[in-house]
Amino acid sequence: MTKKFTKKVLSGLLITAMAGSFAACGSGGNTPAQETTGSAASGSTAEAEGEWSPAQNISMIVAYKAGSGTDNTARVLSEFATKEMGQTVVINNLEGGSGSIGWTSLAQAKPDGYTLGFINLPTVCSNIVEGLGDYTMEDFVPVCNHVDETALVLVSADSEFDTLEDLVAYAQDHPGELKASTNGEKASNHIGAQLLASSADFEYSAIPYGGTADQLLALRQGEVDFSVAKEADIAAMMSEVKVLGVFSEERMEKFPDVPTLGELGYYDKWYGSRRVIVAPKGTPQNIIDYYEKAFKTAMEDPEYVEAAEQAGITTYFMDQEETAAMLEDQYAFCTDEVAELW
């Protein structure tokens, strides 16, 4: 899995590839792009053709609690999306089930352009692989990618561990003794902890919490020994944690003194989370096109750029095709590499 994606994949090849991949995770054989096209063709001419813009408020489903990393990034974007669209983008927190409650509601929403949502990668893919939700990858039509966040290995500020080598050495000498808080069973941060442990050859105990906010609270309160989370997740608590390692191929600009895991001989690929804006299956293509353009404009607003930087948000816009390719890549990562971790 790589951090950058190119636009060299022709749309015809992309749709064919996605059809084969997504068929494995759902009952249908169509890709999100195909479903959108089919809906537009079978819907009314007024809905399927011409320009579209929202005439009422838009509900944006966030599958995690208020104050979580996803919620914080969504609220920053929603302010500027509201400005661009002329209608209020209302954040609707539907937490629980490692995201499955919110994503089930999103998958079942009416495809009329007034319900959108964030899906978190790779968690949404791992949920589907593990059978934790009634939705499939086919139930979501990609609009665009919003953020790209590198995973970090964290301990509390008063931890006895000052380096990742120290933590690993202790874990190797005391198998299963160290505890790591996670944002859910086999969710994104649990996968990160497992990638570290597998590549560094140690055992630990994973303690699942309801989401990243609760996971990091447990870390700061001393209930666990380490965690894996992302930069935006810890933006408001930098004085309460220590960053021991980053899941990146190069050192991060914000943490120039923190080694990559690869430098230390552990997992040597980029790993982190991406948050994708999607619509329910069947949403007409002209609506998807409208939102792709509107969110891109919002993310390029200089005031948004400044607000995102202050919030520790790494904005990484991808258009529909790039996002669709990335979804395929993430699903393959979960079915292949992640499946080997347990």
What CATH number does residue 328 fall under?
3.40.190.150
- The last residue of one of the domains, among 235, 264, 293, is 264
- Top pLDDT among 159 and 40 is at 159
The pLDDT, as a whole number, for residue 142 is 98
Residue 1 lies in a domain: no
Question: What percent of the chain clears pLDDT 90, i.e. is strictly above it?
Answer: 71
First to last CA, the chain: 19
Best CA proximity match to 308, nearest among 322, 295, 321, 289: 295
Rounded distance between C-alpha atoms, residue 154 and residue 246, angstroms: 9
Q: What are the CA-CA distances from residue 255 to residues 72, 141, 309 (Å)?
A: 21, 35, 15
Judgement on whether residues 97 and 165 belong to the same structural domain of the protein: no
- Report the 10 Å Cβ neighbour count for 107: 21
In a domain, 336, yes or no: yes
* CATH value at residue 222: 3.40.190.10
DSSP H helical ranges for 181-249: 188-200, 212-220
Confirm if 314 and 235 have CB atoms less than 8 A apart.
no
Q: What is the pLDDT of residue 8?
A: 35
Residue 326 in domain:
yes
* Average of per-residue pLDDT across 287-291: 98
Are residues 138 and 27 part of one domain? Answer: yes
| 3-class DSSP state of 62 | strand
DSSP assignment letter at 100? H
Residue partners of 114: CB distance under 8 A and separation at least 6: 54, 56, 57, 58, 59
**Contact by Cβ (8 Å): 155, 161:** yes
* Residue 342: pLDDT band with limits 50, 70, 90: confident
Per-residue HEC secondary structure of 72-99 comes to HHHHHHHHHHHHHHCCCEEEEECCCHHH
Is residue 74 located within the same domain as residue 27? yes
Give the up-direction half-sphere exposure of residue 207: CA atoms within 13 A in the CB hemisphere: 18
My answer on whether 288 and 255 are in the same domain is no
Is residue 10 one of the residues assigned to a domain? Answer: no
Percent of the residues in the chain that have a pLDDT greater than 70, as a whole number: 86
Would you place residue 340 in the very low, low, confident or very high pLDDT band (cuts 50, 70, 90)?
A: confident
109: left (phi over 0), alpha (psi -120 to 50) or beta: beta
245 and 281, same domain (yes or no): no
Residue 123 domain flag: yes
Instruction: Indicate the range of 47-56, 261-270, 316-325 predicted with least confidence.
Output: 47-56
**Is the pLDDT confidence value at 13 over 70?**
no
Instruction: Tell whether 83 and 187 lie within a shared domain.
Output: no
Do residues 141 and 284 share a domain? yes
Task: Let me know whether 97 and 182 are in one domain.
Answer: no
Does residue 122 have a cis bond before it (omega within 30 degrees)? Answer: yes
Indicate the pTM of the whole model.
0.77
Q: Is residue 249 part of a domain?
A: yes
In this structure, is residue 188 part of a structural domain?
yes
Report d(CA 204, CA 10) in Å as an integer: 44
Residue 62, CA distances (Å) to 52, 306, 323 in order: 24, 23, 18
pLDDT tier, 316 (very low <50, low <70, confident <90, very high otherwise): very high
Give the residue-averaged pLDDT of 166-187. Answer: 95
Higher-confidence residue: 29 or 184? 184
168 and 291 both lie in a single domain: no
Contact in structure between 136 and 31 (CB atoms under 8 Å): no
List pLDDT tens digits, range 122-175.
999 999 998 888 899 999 999 999 999 999 999 999 999 999 999 999 999 999
User: Which residue, of 209, 231, 264, is where some domain finishes?
Assistant: 264
The whole-number average pLDDT for the span 3-25 is 38
Read off the pLDDT of residues 56-104 as tens digits, 9 standing for 90 and up.
999 999 999 898 888 999 999 999 999 999 999 999 999 988 899 999 9
For residue 110, CA distances in Å to 86, 321, 329 come to 21, 23, 27
Q: C-alpha angle with apex 240: 180 to 223, nearest 5 degrees?
A: 35
Instruction: From 237, 264, 291, give the residue that closes a domain.
Output: 264
Average pLDDT, the chain: 87
* Residue in 248, 260, 240 with CA at minimum distance from that of residue 314: 248
pLDDT in tens, 299-315: 999 999 999 998 889 99
Number of domains present in the structure of the chain? 2
Q: Is there a domain that residue 2 lies in?
A: no
Compute the CA torsion angle 60, 65, 69, 72 (nearest 10 deg). 50
Residue 30 has pLDDT above 70, yes or no: no
Whether 285 contacts 154, CB under 8 Å = no
Whole domain around residue 84: which residue ranges? Answer: 18-149+272-341
